[in-house]
Amino acid sequence: MGVGVAWANQVRVEAVKTVFFYVSIVALVCVGYGRCLVGRTRPESEKRLCYKYVWCIITVHSVSCWESQARPRQKRLAELEQQVLEKASRVETLSRQLEESKRHAGEMQGQLEESKCQQGEVEQQLSVRLRDCEEELARQAARPHQVKFVTEIVEVESSESQQAVAEAQAKSAALQEQLSLQRQLLRELETQLHDSQRTSTQLRAQILVYEGEMERAQGQLEAEMQNLEEEKNRVIEEAFIRAESEMKAVHDNLAGVRMNLLTLQPALRTLTCDYNCLKRQVQDFPFMLEKAITEAKQEICQVIGEVSSANQELLRKYKREMNLRKKCHNELVRMKGNIRVFCRVRPVCRGEHDSAENMVSFDPDDDALLYLSNKVKLMTFELDKVFHPQATQEEVFQEVQSLVTSCIDGFNVCIFAYGQTGSGKTYTMEGVAKDPGINQRALRLLFSEVTEKAPDWDFKITVSMVEIYNETLRNLLGDNQGEKLDIKMNPDGSGHLYVPGLTEFTVQSPEDINRVFELGHMNRATACTNLNEHSSRSHALLIITVAGVNSSTGHRTQGKLNLVDLAGSERIAKSGAEGSRLREAQCINKSLSALGDVINALRSRHSHVPFRNSRLTYLLSDSLSGDSKTLMMVQVSPLVSNMSESVCSLKFAQRVRTIELGNATRRQWENSSTSSSSAQALRQTFPRSLSQIWGIRFHSVPLPLMIQVGKPTV
């Protein structure tokens, strides 16, 4: 039953598989047909090939299907045959058992017959003996006289008769005993007979049971054999029918495949033809490729030639534009003035009780105006830019960074911090560790700028640090702090100055920048007992040289940036210095005066510029002349007690600034008595608002005065 269900399941699974296969084939054909429809441009031979391919798949699958269905049937047939063999062997075993039982029953019957026979014989013997004994007894009984006689005789012949009686009695007892034994034996034989009869009855019943069972088993076996035979015949018949139909289908498919093969041949011929054509093309390809490469090379060469001539043209234009840009820049700087003056008012420091609330004030609308008021009057100072006490280091640097970067373009730049002691010069230039000043920020900016230009330009940044104390030059990056440096004319005949023995440190990474400042600060500190006091009385110079070469044009630039923290500018009279302090103050005064003279002479286009009047101006001579740019950062203390020094510093700054306004046109106005009134008239023609809108600034000091300014008084 279970086998039948499994068989049915398997047939069902096969049927599902077949249906699925045919559905997928139909889908494949549909897709193929759809593609053929879409790609109508495909050759007919390809379509035919596609159909043939599908037919082949169907044929192969049908054969494999038939095989896969025949395989389980054969297996089932083998199982049935195995079952028949098993049943046959069981029937044989049962027959053998039956034979055995029959033989056993025969034996038992034989034994029974024998026992009966023996019993008859014994019974017969016993009955004969019994009869003999009874006869004897009867004879004995029938002879009483004889006994009496015998008794008499016994009485006569007593011993003999007594013996004979005793023997007869013993004989009689023995016979009696034998009789009882025979009776017992008879009883036992009767019991055995009963047992044998019972066993025989049982065996017969068992034989009957076995015979019935055998008949039943044989009937079952025959029925099952018949069923199996029928099933086998049916299955064989079915398989035969299916195989026949499948064979027919296979034959049909085969015929189709043959037909397809016949039609494939022309397609194959076409393909072979195409292949030969392609082969010829492949053979020709290297020549075609070579030809194409040669043509492409020629075209590329032509294009390269065109591009290089265009490049040359662009380079020429670029150089022209660069020169123009430089000229424009110079013109712009010239218009703005090569000297710019900023003012920075430091905040009131902790512990300073001298409130400056009313002494310094600012114009909310104009960041170039600063007001100083003492008890009696209010003074107005106009500069290029005024930084109020809250201005950050970053804000200050924002204003000076264009000057700093111009040294990459080959300009010489000087930035001075000027002011009395304690007005914030060192703070502005050096700053503090957490908030560095112009020096560090400038070096970092230059480094990042040249790094950005690195692909086109090869720049080298070198740094030197010197200190001028009592007109003596000291190298702050060198090993020997006691060595005094000299300024000499360069023996190469270039007319430039140089300082023999001055250390030049090449900056190659941002870490180098930190190293330079640490070393400079350390060397400056080791050379003096009180750094603060010492720094007030000496000028500190950071000299940065930026030299670059353009890798494509070979164009070279060299610019120098001088960052100068000047010594304190307080008046000797007020400080009341004596001895060494007096000499220090005189030296400071001398160098600051010389700086004023140089600026004055430069802006006045004097034929002689007194650079040699101090070490400071002599050292900076190449950075102050020509197209160089100068920024003076005037530091002002907000304290009332520093009022007079603040006024002096601001007056000096303003004079410096007004000098630069008298540029090219100043020469015409020099020594002209009308120039003052002309400038005044010009100034009056521009309303202040207009001048602010156009960025043109007029100053409160008359222009001719600028030229008349002599040495700045400090």
Nearer to ligand ATP (CB atom), residue 52 or residue 537: 537
Nearer to ligand ATP (CB atom), residue 154 or residue 370: 370
Q: Which of 403, 408, 424, 438: binder of ligand ATP (CB under 6 A)?
A: 424
Nearer to ligand ATP (CB atom), residue 636 or residue 707: 636
Rule CB under 6 A: is residue 712 a binding residue for ligand ATP?
A: no
DSSP letter for 388, please.
-
Helix (H, G, I), strand (E, B) or coil at 667: helix
Rule CB under 6 A: is residue 196 a binding residue for ligand ATP?
A: no
Rule CB under 6 A: is residue 431 a binding residue for ligand ATP?
A: no
Consult the annotation and say whether 248 binds a ligand.
no
Nearer to ligand ATP (CB atom), residue 636 or residue 709: 636
Consult the annotation and say whether 422 binds a ligand.
yes
Q: Which of 62, 253, 260, 426: binder of ligand ATP (CB under 6 A)?
A: 426
Give least dist CB 590 to ligand ATP, A.
Answer: 17
DSSP letter for 435, please.
S
Task: Tell me the window of 273-281, 405-413, 425-433, 513-521 that interacts with ligand ATP (CB under 6 A).
Answer: 425-433
Consult the annotation and say whether 159 binds a ligand.
no
**What residues from 552 to 581 belong to the interface with ligand ATP (CB under 6 A)?**
568
# residues near ligand ATP by CB under 6 A: 15
Q: How far apart are CA 344 and CA 631, in angstroms?
A: 13
The contacts of residue 661 (CB under 8 Å, 6+ apart) are 337, 699, 703, 706
650-653 own/partner pairs: CB under 8 Å, 24+ apart: 650/343, 650/370, 650/372, 650/379, 650/381, 650/383, 651/381, 652/418, 652/569, 652/596, 652/712, 652/713, 652/714, 653/341, 653/343, 653/381, 653/383, 653/418
Q: How far apart are CA 493 and CA 502, in angstroms?
A: 19
Consult the annotation and say whether 426 binds a ligand.
yes
Task: Tell me the window of 199-207, 341-349, 511-519, 587-595 that interacts with ligand ATP (CB under 6 A).
Answer: 341-349
> Do strands 538-550 and 556-565 pair parallel, antiparallel, or not at all (unpaired)?
antiparallel
Give least dist CB 712 to ligand ATP, A.
Answer: 18
Consult the annotation and say whether 420 binds a ligand.
yes
Give least dist CB 592 to ligand ATP, A.
Answer: 12
Rule CB under 6 A: is residue 337 a binding residue for ligand ATP?
A: no
Q: Which of 150, 386, 422, 592: binder of ligand ATP (CB under 6 A)?
A: 422
Q: Which of 523, 536, 604, 658: binder of ligand ATP (CB under 6 A)?
A: 536
Nearer to ligand ATP (CB atom), residue 389 or residue 702: 389
Give least dist CB 352 to ligand ATP, A.
Answer: 9
Give least dist CB 671 to ligand ATP, A.
Answer: 39
Consult the annotation and say whether 294 binds a ligand.
no
Consult the annotation and say whether 425 binds a ligand.
yes
Q: Which of 43, 144, 347, 626: binder of ligand ATP (CB under 6 A)?
A: 347
DSSP letter for 537, please.
T
List Cα–Cα distances, 675 to 669, 679, 686, 688, in angstroms: 5, 6, 17, 21
Give least dist CB 634 to ligand ATP, A.
Answer: 11
Q: How far apart are CA 539 and CA 568, in angstroms?
A: 9
- Specify the DSSP element, H or E, that contains 548: strand 538-550
Consult the annotation and say whether 419 binds a ligand.
yes
Q: How far apart are CA 333 and CA 337, in angstroms?
A: 6
Nearer to ligand ATP (CB atom), residue 252 or residue 395: 395
Phi-psi region of 170 (alpha: psi -120 to 50; beta: other; left: phi over 0): alpha
List Cα–Cα distances, 5 to 2, 14, 243, in angstroms: 5, 14, 23
Rule CB under 6 A: is residue 427 a binding residue for ligand ATP?
A: yes
DSSP letter for 436, please.
B
> Per the structure block, which two tokens stand in for 284?
């020709």
Task: Tell me the window of 20-28, 228-236, 423-431, 521-529 that interacts with ligand ATP (CB under 6 A).
Answer: 423-431
Give least dist CB 501 to ligand ATP, A.
Answer: 26
Q: How far apart are CA 414 and CA 622, in angstroms?
A: 10
Q: How far apart are CA 633 and CA 461, in angstroms?
A: 24
Give least dist CB 370 to ligand ATP, A.
Answer: 15
Answer for the pair 703, 661: CB distance below 8 angstroms, yes or no: yes
Rule CB under 6 A: is residue 635 a binding residue for ligand ATP?
A: yes
Nearer to ligand ATP (CB atom), residue 62 or residue 614: 614
Residues placed in the known binding site: 419-426
Q: Which positions lie near ligand ATP, rule CB under 6 A?
A: 346-347, 349, 419, 421-427, 535-536, 568, 635
